[in-house]
Amino acid sequence: MQDSMRMRAVQSPIIPIVGELIRQTPGTISLGQGVVNYPPPGQAIAQITNFLADPANHKYQAVEGIPELKSAIAQKLTTENRIDLSDREIVVTAGSNMAFLNVVLAIADPGDEIILQTPFYFNHEMAIDLASCRAVLVPTDDHYQIQPDLIRAAMTQRTRAVVTISPNNPTGVVYPESALREVNQICRQHNCFHITDEAYEYFTYGVEHFSAGSIAESANHTISLFSLSKAYGFASWRIGYMVIPKFLLESVQKIQDTNVICPAVVSQFAAVGALQAGRTYCQEKLSAIAQVREIVLAKLETIPHLCTVPKAEGAFYFLLKVQTDLDAMELVRQLIRDHQVAVLPGFTFGLKEGCYLRVGYGALEKETAIEGIQRLVTGLQAISASQSSIDGMKSP
């Protein structure tokens, strides 16, 4: 007896692996997981009383989400994202990871291709492998910006979708409107879907977020994914949502009914309250995150000889290219074991050549961020010096 060959092709999630290393080294500060340090708004918690008031809420509800939440989402999409919901449907999901897997299963058959930008979000690649499809990797440029000409060149008859994430995980870059419009047009010309992941839409610093779903005549080939996890401190509540062409609804309903039946209704009630608090709630918290971002960036800029920090104007990540011959996972182990600071290795995001580390700062209070980033800088300096010493002893 053995597990499926398909599952053997799926990479193991890196966060639990790094999490175990952290547990083995008490006192470690994590710069790894992508969460915020604040809780949901009070309006979200208050909605739980409304949920408990009606015994019918303990029964299964609509596969695609309760009407109150869909209505709140529709208002948000129309006013903030400027998405015309004609010929589109909203489906509430148990987080945007579920939304992405739903989409892949709905639009692709085994062996079909979905284009990801490298570095990619690892759960996207995992979902594609789970569906027995093929992830086609298109590199971004030296600043982690998408390259539409390379996307166009990667198209084949089996291409079903192109995925963009902006603001981006793991790089923190924000794609300009012009680039997203060009990708959307490429998808339209090649009769495939543009899947746009906008989980970090509120986390931008001095630039504007653009939703590709707002492009005129994009309804039939654009799929937009959103999440409450980041903006509303809602990670464990597992509520995301997707905006899909109407003709995909039946397929998505089949998938979601099989997988989860409906997202947790108590979480959907809380999500209604979160959206009542609205974007203002996140923006009130964003200034503190922006301060932490500046602290992290200033510290990293003191070691340009050890790592490169491309410009990142969104989310709460920096993706560092480290000047070392060490394997990224070995570097992660040494940083945790010897310096009590944790980051994620770049290979999990598809970066096989060179040593890359993703630094996350959204989960940290200011004081902890200062200590954590100092440990990282000190660790990189110490490890670099140790490697130089070893290399010197090997020289004739």
Helix axes of 67-76 and 265-277: crossing angle, nearest 10 degrees: 30
380's enclosing H/E stretch is helix 366-394
- What is the pLDDT of the chain when averaged over all its residues? 94
- Name the residue among 203, 142, 211, 215 with its Cα closest to residue 172: 203
pLDDT score for 5: 81
Over residues 173-202, the mean pLDDT reads 97
pTM, entire model: 0.93
Structure tokens at 300: 């990293």
pLDDT score for 394: 57
Kindly provide the residue ranges of all beta strands, DSSP E only, lying in the chain, ordered along the sequence.
29-30, 88-93, 113-118, 134-139, 159-165, 193-197, 222-227, 240-245, 307-308, 317-322, 341-342, 344-345, 355-360
Angstrom distance (rounded) from CA 159 to CA 43: 43
- The pLDDT > 70 percentage for the chain reads 98
Contact 279, 317 (CB under 8 A): no
Strand partners, 137: 116
Structure tokens at 116: 């990801």
Domain positions in the chain are 7-39+280-386, 42-277
Instruction: Label residue 395 by pLDDT band (50, 70, 90).
Output: low
Query: Got the DSSP string for 2-56?
Result: ---HHHHTSPPPHHHHHHHHHHTSTTPEE--S---SS---HHHHHHHHHHHH-GG
Place of tokens 């547990």: 23
Over residues 71-86, the mean pLDDT reads 97
Is 396 a residue whose pLDDT tops 70?
A: no
State whether CATH 3.90.1150.10 applies to domain 7-39+280-386.
yes
Sheet strands side by side (includes 113-118): 88-93, 240-245, 222-227, 193-197, 159-165, 113-118, 134-139
pLDDT score for 9: 83
Contact 88, 219 (CB under 8 A): yes
Over residues 338-358, the mean pLDDT reads 94
Is 95 a residue whose pLDDT tops 90?
A: yes
Cα–Cα separations (whole angstroms), residue 18 to 9, 155, 238, 355, 383: 20, 35, 22, 16, 19
Is 183 a residue whose pLDDT tops 60?
A: yes
Instruction: Kindly report the CATH number that applies to the domain delimited by 42-277.
Output: 3.40.640.10
Which backbone phi and psi does 133 adopt, to 5 degrees?
A: -100, 180
Strand partners, 317: 360
Angstrom distance (rounded) from CA 311 to CA 314: 9
Instruction: Label residue 364 by pLDDT band (50, 70, 90).
Output: confident
pLDDT score for 33: 79
Instruction: Label residue 15 by pLDDT band (50, 70, 90).
Output: confident
Strand partners, 162: 115, 194
- The pLDDT > 90 percentage for the chain reads 87
Q: Are 7-39+280-386 and 42-277 equal in CATH topology?
A: no
pLDDT score for 69: 97
pLDDT score for 115: 98
Structure tokens at 373: 């980033």
Place of tokens 């949502």: 241
Is 58 a residue whose pLDDT tops 80?
A: yes
Strand partners, 116: 137
Burial of residue 204 (number of CB atoms within 10 Å: 0-12, 13-18, 19+) = middle
